[in-house]
């Protein structure tokens, strides 16, 4: 009897020991998951705040190269290390309107800008713009100007030389773009970053050419 009793008590004792061990293991796994999620959240905050951010195109000012509703990834860190280059597509903030704009860098500090019809001159040299060359040809083939909106300098912005620490930016859709011809020069402090990737819609997934 004593022997049988001892034999039946042994599995029960082992089971009692196993139960706390399983609970401890489950608790440890839960804590690890919480840590992983916390780290992921912190990384997302850091990446979005300092490195990259999403941006949605609204309006037709960058047509034909960007369409309303497209979503982009903006590189926020690049211009912390270097100045913008001509031809780059940038996102910048307009404090007076409380929103961000997407345009293309045309003029750099010290450049003298002249926009006359479909021609843009930098320091009296015509700027080649392959990103809208086909659109200009099509408009002119129809007997029209591609830029019917505004020349530069104009009655709003009379100074033709780009000041230090600013850029002159225009939309690719020259007849439907609120840009430096109306807003004036864009301060480096207002630059959000350079547009790098179209990630939505998926059939437009691509790196942005500058």
Catalytic residues: 61, 103
CA 43 to each of CA 47, 51, 54, 79: distance values in angstroms, whole numbers, following the listed order = 6, 10, 15, 21
DSSP strand E in 125-210: where? 125-126, 166-170, 186-187, 191-200, 206-207
Tell me the sheet residues that pair with 198: 72, 206
Helix intervals (H) in the chain? 2-46, 133-141, 180-183
CA angle in degrees (0–180, nearest 5) for 115-109-145:
15
In the chain, how long is the greatest CA-to-CA distance?
111
């Amino acid at each position: 009897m004593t022997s049988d009793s001892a034999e039946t008590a042994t599995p029960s004792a082992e089971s009692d020991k196993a139960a706390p061990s399983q609970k401890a293991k489950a608790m440890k796994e839960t804590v690890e998951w919480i840590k992983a999620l916390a780290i992921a959240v912190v990384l997302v905050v850091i990446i979005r705040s300092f490195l990259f951010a999403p941006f949605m195109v609204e309006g037709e000012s960058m047509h034909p190269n960007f369409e309303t509703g497209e979503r982009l990834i903006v590189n926020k860190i690049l211009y912390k290390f270097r100045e913008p280059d001509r031809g780059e597509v940038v996102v910048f903030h307009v404090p007076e309107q409380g929103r961000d704009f997407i345009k293309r860098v045309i003029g750099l500090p010290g450049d003298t800008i002249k926009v006359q019809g479909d021609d843009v001159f930098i320091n009296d040299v015509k700027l080649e713009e392959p990103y809208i060359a086909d659109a200009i040809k099509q408009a002119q083939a129809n007997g029209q100007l591609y830029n019917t909106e505004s020349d530069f300098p104009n009655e709003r912005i009379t100074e033709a030389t780009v000041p230090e620490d600013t850029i002159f930016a225009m939309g690719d859709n020259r007849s439907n773009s609120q840009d430096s011809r109306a807003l004036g020069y864009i301060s480096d402090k207002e630059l959000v970053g350079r547009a790098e990737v179209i990630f939505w819609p998926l059939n437009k997934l691509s790196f942005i050419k500058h």
